[in-house]
Structures are given as C-alpha cells and as structure tokens.
Amino acid sequence: MVNDESPVTRRSYLKGTAGAAAMAGLAGCAFGGSGGGGDDTLTIAGTIPETGAFSSLGQDLRRGYELGHARMNEQLDRDVELILQDDESDAQTLRQNLQQMTSNNDVNMIWGSFSSLLVTAGSAFAENQNLPFLGIAFAYEEPHRNDNYEWTYAPFPKSRDVARSTLGTLELIPEGERPSRVGIWEPNSGWGKEQADYWENRLGDAGYDIVLRETFEIGSQDFSTLISQSQSADVEVLLSNPTPGGGITAVNQMQSNNWSPKMLKFVRGADPSAWWSALGNAGAYALMCPGWVPGLTGNGNQRLRETYMSEYETESQYMPVNVGGSYNLTQVALQAVQAAGSTEAEAIQSALRSETFQTVIGEFGFEDNGLPAEGDLTAPTGQWWEGAQRLAYPNTGSQRALEFKYPIPPWSER
Amino acid sequence: MVAGELVSQSIVNGILLGGIYAVAALGLSLVFGIMDIVNLAHGHMLMVGAYVAILVFAATGITPLIGMFIAMGLLFLLGIVLQKVLLKHVVGEGLEQPIIVLFGLALILQNIGQLVLGGDARTADLGIPGNGIDLGFAFLSLPRTVTFVVAVVLIAGTWAFLQYTRTGQAIRATAQNRTAARYMGIDTDRIYVITLGIGTALAGAAGALLSMLFPINPFVGWSYLLKAFAVVVLGGVGSILGTLVGGVILGVSENLGALYLGGGYRNVVSLLIFLGVLLLKPEGLFGTGGGGE
C-alpha cells in the first residue's frame, strides 16, 4: 500500500504484462484515440461547484483534487488525466457535464462535487454507467442502504459517525461541567431527519435529554421562532445540519436575539470559509464535521500541507477543510487503482470493496454498499477559532489542533 | 419562557419581520399598480441594494442605515435607465413582453453578482449591539426593531410623497387612468420613469435593510420576489397601507405557523391565508379592484 511518506512504488500488476500493454496500445491506436488517451491513461471525470450556491467551496475542492492528481501521476505508472468541470451547484448541470465528459472521453472513474444533493446526482449517473464513483461531503447514509449502490463509494464520515463524534466531543468536557439539555434543529430533508435520528438515539442512549427537536425549511431566512423555542427549552447543546447560508443566518439571528447555546454544532453549515468572512468573531466556537480538519496527522497530512503551502504560495498554517477532504478522496482513488492493477471498472470496484485505505482522514475500508465500514472512521470535529477551523476532536496533539473551547460565552461577554 | 410568552414572542418577531417584508414589497406594488408590469427583477434589485450597502460598509465602515441612501440613489438611476432604454418599448404592450425583459434582467443581475462577488453569503453590521429590550412578554431585538422603524418611516414617506406632492398626485392620476391623465397634461412617460426609479430605489432600501438581518448572496432575489409578491397580493396592488398590513400578516403567520406546526411548515399558514385572500378578495385586503383605462 502506498502512503505519502513512502518512496514511489511500482505496481505489481505491471510485472510480466508488457505484451498486454503493447496490445492495449495498439488497440488505442486502432480506435484513433477518443480523448481518454488510450488504455494506459487513467481518465477521471469530476465536477465541482465553482459557481452557484456552493461556489465558496469550489476552489478548495479543485485544489484538493489537483494536488491528488499530481500525486497520482507521480505514483502510478500511467498517465492520469483529470477533467474537472463546473457544475454550477446544480444537479441537472452536473448530470449534463458528466454526460458530455463521458461521451467525449474514455472515462474510468468519476469524482464528485459537494453536498448530498450534488453527490447523489453524480452517483446516480455513475451507477447508470457502471463507473466507479467517489464522493465526499456526503454524510447521508440512506441512499447507500436503499438504492443498491454498486459503484458509489464515500470516503467520508457518515451520519452515524457524526453522531458518535458529537458524543466524543461532549465527553471532552469534565463531567461536572457537562451540559445535559440537547436541542436539534432538523432541516426538512432526508439527511436532516437521518442525522437528527442518529443524534437523538445516540445522545439519548448516553443519558442526554433531548429537550427540543424542531424542523425548519431548507432555505429558511428566519430562525427567530426556533431561537425562541430553544431559549424556552433551555437548550445547552444545539445540533443541526443546515446549508452554509442557513447556518450563517441562524448565528446572525442568535446574536440579534441575544441567545446562544453553550455548544453549537452546525455540520456542513460551518464548513466553508464563508462562515468566518460573513460572521467574523460571531462565528467563533462553532463546531463542524467537514471530513478533514487541520490538526489531523499521519497518512500524508504533513506532506499535503507542505505541498499545498508551496503550490499555492500561502503561509497559512490552516489549510481549508475541503482541500483535505477532497485530497483524501484522491488517495482512495490512487490506492484502489494500485490494488486493482488495471483501469477496468470492475477491477477498481473490486479493489474499493476489498482493500483498506490509508488517507489523511484515517484508515478505513468500505462496506459493499459503499459506506465506510462502521467504526473505521471517526468524524473529525473542527472548531472555528480566530479565523480558522482547527481540530477539537479527536485529540491528536498537533499544534494545529486546539483544546475544545467550551462553553460559548453569552454575547454580552464576547 | 412559558407557552404564552412563546406566542407573544412569535407575534412580535412576526411584526418586526413583516415591516421588512412590507418595504421589500412596496416598490413592487407601486410599479405593478401604476405601470401594470410585474417587475420580476425586483428581488434581484433588492439583492443589488443589499450588496451596495454591504460593500460600502466593508470599504468605509459606514452603517447600512446610511449606505441605504447610496443604494437608493444608485437603484433610482438603474430604474431610470431601465425604463428609458428597455421598458419604454414594451410597457403597454401586454404582460408578456415586460416580463421577458425583466426576467432576463434578473438573470443578468444574478450572474453579474456571482461573477463579481462570488456565491458567498455576506452581511453588513448594523453597528449596534446584539441585544435589545425585554418587554416582559417578549424580547425586542434591537437590530430588528431599528430596521422595522426605518421600514415604517420609508413606507410613511412614500405614502406622503404620493399624497402631498404634485409628482405624487400625477403618479396616482396615471395609475387611475393613463389616458385621462394624458389628456390632463400629465407626461405619463416621465411618470413611468419616475415610478420605476422610485420602485427600484425602494428595492435598494429594502436590500440595505435586509443586509443587516440576513446574509445576502446573488441567489436571494427569487425568494424575496416571492415574499414581496405574496405581500402585494395580500395587501392589494398599489395600496401602501395594504403593503404594510400584508407584510405584517405574512410575518406573523409565518412565525405562528412555525411555532404550532413546526418550522418545516413555516410557510403553510401564510400560503393558506394568501390563497384565502385570492379566493375571497382577489383584489387584496386594501385593493380597490384597480382603475385602469
């Protein structure tokens, strides 16, 4: 298995396959090259939200993919072509782009995009085309369980992992100071319900009081009723998974209504850097589970950070979270192709099902339905502090991690 | 907070929100009532106004309460140019042509916003602390209260302008009967230019106010257009008092709907009221049924 600290390895499948490679080359010539570059080239199609509602994340995803693509070209014995297009944060556009990319190229694998909405759209296309598909920022479990996925794999913590890490984060607080009253704001979506169910069950079983569970519409601009209800129920821990815009709106209104919980976790809502640019210090203390957070160690984290800093000429100690998340995806792709020893879809699929992967988010394998194997992944929990997201849980001892900041002080004391 | 306080808090929050809805709808109502066109770009003009206030605040630290006047000035000019360059060719040519022009304008504004400023949500700071006044039965959020008061002043100012100035009277005369107004020597083309200018300036003002309460991104235009449209239908096209009442009804019903049915059904009560008014009093609560030709 390759990792970023090891020297470049050659794949065993090449041994004694020179003849087969020559045949493949001839076949490529015979068909005149269809843009994929022939059988030796691994062609990956992907979409990212460079415009539209999720555009603040597009650049981070692109950078993670580009760094991973460069690493794949270093470590694989074949050319790797990465074709990325803007999906405009729109599922229909995403599908059209994938259709066009796969029509014009011999695509071997698809990567893609951000959020359950867009990732499931890409996944549906890949399932239809029998192409291996990797997607992050995709915590929603139900599609994996109910849609009989065969080609979709999510190297990303799922709803159950998010609930588990919420419990872990709470356990960082000394027992005597630990809050007990939990409120859940549930977006009216499939993932919203799934995540709320996991939180309610997991935290309820652990002895926490779920004193509030209320739904809200995705895209809602007014959270004042939820804020009043939370205040009335004396909510100490507020959990939700709003869209980024919704999360920012909610905190804005908590401030103007002079109420805040002692602990705030907005999965996905607090993921993008727009959180800080819109809220500034009002966004401090917020927790998120973006899949990767500065402060994680091992499996190539240090090299990723150094490459990122030199490639993009930044001195920031804190890389954007979605760079790490998307880079982790590319590590899975690299290791799957290495293990498969082929660019054939079935071989890559088989490797995805059977191998264990070491990436910047940890070590894990996949279940047959594409979920990361239960218990393998801890959802790393980041916390906004002084303009950056830093690892609060689990404790890695990294200088880029922080000691979990609790409780959130009242607005008047901030 | 006991159950009774939750209800009173929801009503207070709804009233404060309703004031903003009302000012967001005022320009739309004015243009609809006088020019007989549905300004599909109204929400996007509101978005432009919000961005002007946000950018002025970011560059100079000037509160959006002042930046609002810059936004109003710029949007007033936009409205004039829009009428003189584009709409004068299509106003009075039926509903479809202005709708197509304004729909195109909405898309252009949205894409320019995205191109220039990206898709990130942005906010401006009101510059006052995030606290308020505890009335005992409800908490008055200071930012919301300030924006509500400014919204009511804007609405009252628009009403006074239409009621007591010669231009305002000419606008009302044009709304009642365009042909008769022409016969009476009113330059109706000029009135249309002024009306669209005022309508877009009010959208700019609403945007600046909204930027202090809600994050703004280039895509918010459609949702505010829908809210504004609902307020106009509730209150009655062209009725300024109706706009205020319609806004408050919408705000309060949304909040009570969220409280009793859950936030996922936030809009259900307000939509039911909206449908009820359409069925029982299609001209709106304060509508006159229109004058027209």
**Is any Cβ of chain B less than 8 angstroms from the Cβ of A214?**
yes
User: For residue A12, what pLDDT band results from cuts at 50, 70 and 90?
Assistant: very low
Q: Give the best-scoring range by mean pLDDT among A52-56, A64-68, B4-8, B90-94.
A: A64-68
Per-chain mean pLDDT for chain B? 88
Q: Tell me the per-residue pLDDT of A109-168, one tens digit each, with 9 for 90 and over.
A: 999 999 888 999 999 999 999 999 999 998 999 988 887 899 999 999 999 999 999 999
**Is any Cβ of chain B less than 8 angstroms from the Cβ of A281?**
no
Q: Tell me the per-residue pLDDT of A386-401, one tens digit each, with 9 for 90 and over.
A: 999 999 999 999 999 9
**Is any Cβ of chain B less than 8 angstroms from the Cβ of A52?**
yes
For residue A280, pLDDT over 60 is answered with yes
Q: Where are the alpha helices (DSSP H) in A135-268?
A: 142-146, 159-170, 190-205, 224-232, 244-256
According to the model, what pLDDT value does residue B289 have? Answer: 53
Q: With beta carbons less than 8 A apart as the criterion, state whether B263 and B246 touch.
A: no
User: Chain A partners of B143 at a C-beta cutoff of 8 Å?
Assistant: 256
Grouping H, G, I as helix, E, B as strand and the rest as coil, residue A381 is strand
Top pLDDT among A9 and B227 is at B227
Q: Which residues does A176 contact at the CB level (< 8 Å), separation at least 6?
A: none
> Judging by beta carbons within 10 Å of its beta carbon (0-12, 13-18, 19+), is residue B265 exposed, middle or buried?
middle
What is the interface pTM, i.e. ipTM, of the complex? Answer: 0.78
User: Chain B partners of A274 at a C-beta cutoff of 8 Å?
Assistant: 120-121
According to the model, what pLDDT value does residue A214 have? Answer: 93
Q: Tell me the per-residue pLDDT of B198-240, one tens digit each, with 9 for 90 and over.
A: 999 999 999 999 988 888 888 889 989 988 999 999 999 888 8
Give the global pTM.
0.83
Mean pLDDT of B16-25: 91
According to the model, what pLDDT value does residue B130 have? Answer: 58
Assigned token pair, A283: 């966004």
User: Chain A partners of B267 at a C-beta cutoff of 8 Å?
Assistant: 217
Task: Please judge whether B258 and A216 are an interchain contact, meaning their C-beta atoms are less than 8 angstroms apart.
Answer: yes
User: For residue A374, what pLDDT band results from cuts at 50, 70 and 90?
Assistant: confident
From A282, A303, A296, A264, select the one nearest A383 (Cα to Cα): A264
Report the residue of chain A nearest B212, measured CA to CA: A252
Mean pLDDT of A289-310: 95
Mean pLDDT of A230-257: 92
CB pairs under 8 A between A and B: 119
For residue A237, pLDDT over 70 is answered with yes
**Is any Cβ of chain B less than 8 angstroms from the Cβ of A92?**
no
Q: Tell me the per-residue pLDDT of B63-87, one tens digit each, with 9 for 90 and over.
A: 899 999 999 999 999 999 999 998 8
B184: number of Cβ within 10 Å: 11
According to the model, what pLDDT value does residue B288 have? Answer: 61
User: For residue B125, what pLDDT band results from cuts at 50, 70 and 90?
Assistant: low
Mean pLDDT of A9-34: 36
A264: number of Cβ within 10 Å: 26
For residue A18, pLDDT over 50 is answered with no
Per-chain mean pLDDT for chain A? 88
**Is any Cβ of chain B less than 8 angstroms from the Cβ of A225?**
yes
